[in-house]
Structures are given as structure tokens and as C-alpha cells.
Amino acid sequence: MSLEQHYTAILGQLGEDVTREGLLDTPKRAAKAMQYLCKGYQQTLEEVTNGALFSSDNSEMVLVKNIELYSLCEHHILPFIGKAHVAYLPNGKVLGLSKVARIVDMYARRLQIQENLTREIAEAVQQVTDAAGVAVVIEAQHMCMMMRGVEKQNSSMVTSVMLGQFRENAATRSEFLGLVK
């Protein structure tokens, strides 16, 4: 059974008339949308970074702030939407700027929980750059908490992962957290 056929069955189970005009192409569109929203499964770290690692004497913090992210929670398949702040301390190599955002997107475009997403991004940046430290903070709003359940419209969740010098050195961690405030 194709993804499109599954969506037809789901709509029918919800009590919809799947033959009505407004729903005729919905299963096809929904299947296509879901494949796009979960395209991270078809990507690898090597593909998204595409060798964009460059020699550099810089050992100061590199920070990419406010990277918007869109993901689906693995518990309800509802969106969570937010922003990621990603920093690393170069150790002879810097990563092309857009590649940091591409790493965020690759992991966000999988069924996720925010806690794991934060760690996956940090570990991927560490793996690619061999940095002296990596820090990631994500702040997101979860539709599974806003649209259903407790229905708290103004809630957001903040997660962080600190690796290497960001974990071991309080001054480095404080500098990062001050910059992302």
C-alpha cells in the first residue's frame, strides 16, 4: 500500500468523504508533503557538508544564530517550530557557513524529539569539524502541546548540548550563552 493510499484510508477513518472535490488530491499532496518533511532520512552528513571544510588559523568561537527549524515530533507527528544556535571552536578547520544550517535541517527533517535533535546536531558538527568544542541551543514551540493536550499557547522548550570546551570551560560556555540571549 502506498503512502497516498494510506492517507486515503486515514481520511476515511476520520469520517471524511474521500470522494468530495476538496479531498480528491489531498492524499497525494499529503504524501508528498510528508516525504518532504521527512527528507532528512534520505540525506547523509557527508552529502550535506559536501566537503566544505576549510583550513583556518582561527581558534575563536564561530556562532551561527537563529537558524529556523521545522520538525515533527515522533510522538504525535505534529510540528515543532523554533530556532537553533550552533557554535564551535575551530581546531584548524572551519565549516562553510550554510553547512551548519544544512546540518540542522537534515536532522530536523526526521521524526524527532527536541532533546535528541539538539544532541544530534552537536555531535554532527563535532564529527565534521573536529572542533575543540561545540554548543547547541534550541528553542521551539510544540504543536502537540499547543493544539492538543494541555493547550498552552505561550509555552516553549529550550534544550542545550555542550561538548568539549563548552562543557569543560565555564567562561567559554558563558560567552556562548551571553551571545545567544
Cell numbers 499532496: residue: 29
Kindly state the DSSP code that residue 52 receives in the 8-state scheme. -
43 residue type, one letter: Q
- CB-count exposure of residue 87 (10 Å: 0-12, 13-18, 19+): buried
Spatial CB neighbours of 25, under 8 Å, sequence gap ≥ 6: none
**Active site residues per annotation:** 73-76, 114, 142, 144
State phi, psi for 128 to the nearest 5 degrees: -75, -40
Residue appearing with cell numbers 578547520: 93
85 is in an annotated binding site: no
CA dihedral 34, 40, 43, 46 (to 10 degrees): 170
Residue 113 half-sphere exposure toward CB, CA atoms < 13 A:
3
> Binding site annotation covers 38?
no
Q: Binding site membership: which residues?
A: 73, 76, 144
Q: Binding site membership for Zn(2+): which residues?
A: 73, 76, 144
